[in-house]
Each structure stands twice: as C-alpha cells, then as structure tokens.
Amino acid sequence: MTKYSSRYASSPEAVKKYDTQQLREEFLIDDLMQEDEVVLVYSHYDRYIAGSAVPVKGDLVLETIDPLKAPYFLERRELGIINVGGSGSVVVEGTTYELGFKDALYIGAGNKEVVFKSDDSSNPAKFYLNSAPAHTTYPTKKVSLAEANKLQLGTMETANHRTVNQMIIGSVVTTCQLQMGMTELKPGSVWNTMPAHVHDRRMEVYFYLDIPQDQAVCHFMGQPQETRHIWMSNHQAVISPPWSIHSGSGTSNYTFIWGMAGENLDYGDMDVCKITDLR
C-alpha cells in the first residue's frame, strides 16, 4: 500500500508568522515507518520526495503517485535508500541488493520495478527513501556503512564531535543531483551542523534516528536572523528550505540522515553563519 501527501513551498516572510502548529504542519514529517506501507511526502522545494517503506507481512512495491504524472516512479527520478531497521533487501529489475543496518542503495532513473523485502518479519527492515528528479540514468549501486567516505568533525569541548558518513555523494556514487549521508554524534555530543549554514542553491531534508526512548532533538530552522525550532522524536524527518538553517541539539547523542538536491553537487557550497550572529 502506498500513501502520499504534498507540501508546498513557503516564503521566509510567511514563516516568520507561523505558530508552532503551522510550522510543524508545513515542515515536520511525523508519519514515517508505518508497517506494510510505503509513505511518501512530495515537497515543492526542488520536487524532492522523502518517505519510507516497512515490509512486514509481505513485500512492498514502489508505485508511482499522481504528482509525478508518470507510468512508474523512477521514469524521471533517481532514488536513495538507507536501511535503519533489520536486515532486508531491495530488488531492482530482478537484481537483489542486500541491505543491513545503515547500508545505502542508489537507484538510477529508468528502473521500472523496485521491491522492498524484510528478512525477518519480527525485526523488519525500515527503508528510509529520498528521491529527486533526474534527467540521466546512472548505475544502481550499494554503499555499505563501512564503504562510506568518513569525515571526523567537531570536538567534545563544543559538544559536536561527530562522524559524517558520505554515502550517496559524488566521490562515492555518480548521481544527477541527489546526495545522501549519515551523521553519527559521539556520546556526550548533542549539536549537529553547528556552526549553522544555508545553501541557497540546494534544499535539504533531515531524518533523525537513534534517539533514545524518552529523549528528543530540538531542530532549528529559519533565516539566520529569524530562527524557529521544532521538537522531534525518533524516525521523524524535517524539510529544510534553501533559505533556512538546519541544525539541531538533542537531550542525548543521536544520528541523522541528510539528503539534498538542487542546483549543484558541490558538498561544500554553503554560506556559514557565525554562531554569535544567530537570532
């Protein structure tokens, strides 16, 4: 079963006037990882799609949705997948790719059949999905967590010591515009993406995981001089417009998956905001 919803783009001037409920309705994705369903959110920021697939009782098929106006989902799109649950597999045009916990898979445009499977229904795979428009077909490729390009950033002193795992990114996988990776915070560190930044040429979606029970992450967004916050729980995602910072602090350490698309594939294309200038 597939269900989807759409989110329209909001201007920074409009967001300044949002209350908590409206801010959450516009940017928070809080219904992911539903058993035996493919859940998709179609954002009008760069036509990005974030979603999930959790096969339990049987396999799940990636089906097209009406906003795509396409006979199959990947006719004009590419897809990134990271498994955040038990072992499973993704079958692409008859070829099976086994995905363990935190393994990734890139699927290029033009693939008509994508099927999600779990190895054990009592510990199902939980596939987190990101998709962006694509105008060229590139090969499907699996990237295990061990194969990711790893960056060690931050320090314990500033509570942001973290490992950035670049997985679906130019130095690892050839894509049209989609980029995905996973940042794991060390014990004792709680801040992600600080100093904060914006990148006007790309939008981004954050998906938070490994948040312990009864803990939470406060995600910060908005223009640097007009910030807002959204409290988030495990396995929730948040849409970040190109004009917005995207940063967070948790009540414990955690992990988040970042995905982005837009004007270019330059990972370092960003405008850093001084911490003391944030408002």
Binding positions for Zn(2+) are 197, 199, 204, 246
- The secondary element (H helix, E strand) that includes residue 150 is strand 149-153
- Locate all alpha helices (DSSP H) within the chain, ordered by sequence: 12-15, 20-27
Q: Are 275 and 191 in contact (CB under 8 A)?
A: no
Whole-angstrom Cα distance, residue 254 to residue 187? 8
Contacting residues for 233 by C-beta, under 8 A, at least 6 apart: 30, 208, 211, 216, 217
Residue 270 phi, psi (nearest 5) = -155, 155
Helix (H, G, I), strand (E, B) or coil at 120: coil
Q: What is the DSSP-derived secondary structure letter of residue 211?
A: P
Please state the residue numbers annotated as binding site. 197, 199, 204, 246
The residue with tokens 């959110």 is 41
Half-sphere exposure of 194 (CA within 13 A, CB side): 24
Say if residues 273 and 224 touch (Cβ distance below 8 Å).
yes
Per-residue DSSP letter, 113: -
